[in-house]
Amino acid sequence: MFLLKRFLGEQYNRVNQIIDSYNNIQNNYINLEACCSYPFPSVLRAQEYPMFTLPTEGMVGARFFPCFESMDDIDNYTEELVLKLLNIDTYNVCNQPHSGTQANQIVYNAILNDGDTVLSLDPKSGGHISHNKFSKNIKVINYGLTSEYLIDYEQLSNLTIKHKPKLIIVGASSYPNDIDYKLIAEIAHNNGSYVMVDACHTILYIMAKLYSNPFPEVDFVTFSLEKVLRGPQGGILIYKKELQKLISYSVFPLTQGGPLQSIQFAKLLCFVELSHIDLKKFASEVQHHAKIIGYNLNNNGIHTYSKDYKTHILLVDVTPYKLTGNIAEQLFYENHILINKNQIPLDPLSPHITSGIRFGTTCITNLNYSDDDTAYLADCLSNLLLHQNIKKEVIEYLIDKYHKSTSISN
């Protein structure tokens, strides 16, 4: 897949060993991890530019160094493209967060005070850990799922009325179904609460209009670019214009110092690419591959928590097969497939062991897997879970066809 060039000179021997090891994984394993995508080539090239030689702490219009015009252009052009991709005009866009979690923390530092309450999805129901851990003295209340593994909006409403949270967080790391953002925003605003959507795993489908739209009701939307957008590691924060002063102060100096300027440039290139492709086709292909795998698993009696395959995520309970998540993760790794252990709803096991595993179909879609080959792969996944064995020739065929034949060099 990616062919990373080695460095010349004996002083780089240890470095080259690391590169060789990374090359081996990139080119000899099928990547079904749900939290990554393969970046556009232009995104990789952009990160080679030394955009950090002119520091630009602060926001557009309020910099602390001279010669900031180029970075202002990057920030302004990024905002223009993001707003156009989402078809919104009552929000501002911040290109500076170092990560999706950092974007969340910028929101926390902007609006939360000691003693405030936050309402967020239970981690065992798919909520992200950054929605449940705070440096301040913040009280965290969790809402959960119904018996059908959908967000329990009635419980969310009752908890909001009872606890009057300052912030309601919506979004998850392993919740594969649609979310009624408008209903949650109505509940929040009727009770004086802000609402923040962490859209790391759903932003592609929101842009493509294949998922519920959080705009214009919610106050904040955060996401990272590496999970589904084929961008660099880094975050984006979208916020209502009237919150500009709070967010600007939270970005700098409260939460971050200077931004990662080469990464900001790479983020811009990602949005340029997304603006010139058929987003609906791109996103629907990711969903389609998830359906192929999900239907195959279901037909083999393997339960997934996806209702209608609205994202790339597939969550599976492995305990019926006398496995735990960590053991299943190792089993798949030994057979050259990368997945991760993951808690399932009401999981009695710790996050380091878990009762489930999580697949994602973004990377195989980026590599243009055919429907037939995705079905072959799905058969292998089912056999690994049911029988702990696999047709190695199928995996070798897929790796040779897709992971070794495509070479993107640095």
| 87 Ramachandran zone, left/alpha/beta (phi>0; psi -120 to 50) | left
Give the pLDDT of residue 69.
80
Are 11-32+279-409 and 46-274 the same fold in CATH?
Answer: no
Give the pLDDT of residue 188.
98
Give the pLDDT of residue 410.
47
Give the pLDDT of residue 407.
55
Percent of the chain with pLDDT over 70: 98
Does position 144 have pLDDT exceeding 90, yes or no?
A: yes
- Global pTM? 0.94
Does position 141 have pLDDT exceeding 60, yes or no?
A: yes
pLDDT band at 136 (very low <50, low <70, confident <90, very high): confident
264-320 pLDDT, tens digit per residue, is 999 999 999 999 999 999 999 999 999 999 999 999 999 999 878 999 999 999 999
46-93 pLDDT, tens digit per residue, is 999 998 887 888 788 777 676 778 888 999 999 999 999 999 999 999
Report residue 368 as tokens.
């243009």
pLDDT band at 1 (very low <50, low <70, confident <90, very high): low
Does position 409 have pLDDT exceeding 90, yes or no?
A: no
374-404 pLDDT, tens digit per residue, is 999 999 999 999 999 888 999 999 999 998 8
pLDDT band at 408 (very low <50, low <70, confident <90, very high): low
> Is the bond preceding 253 in cis, omega lying within 30 degrees of 0?
yes
Give the pLDDT of residue 405.
64
Q: Where are the domains of the chain?
A: 11-32+279-409, 46-274
Give the pLDDT of residue 3.
74
Q: What mean pLDDT value characterizes the chain?
A: 94
Of 133, 127, 118, the C-alpha closest to 145 is 127
Give the pLDDT of residue 60.
82
pLDDT band at 229 (very low <50, low <70, confident <90, very high): very high
Which CATH topology does 46-274 take? Answer: Aspartate Aminotransferase; domain 2 (3.40.640)
Homologous superfamily of domain range 11-32+279-409: Aspartate Aminotransferase, domain 1 (3.90.1150.10)
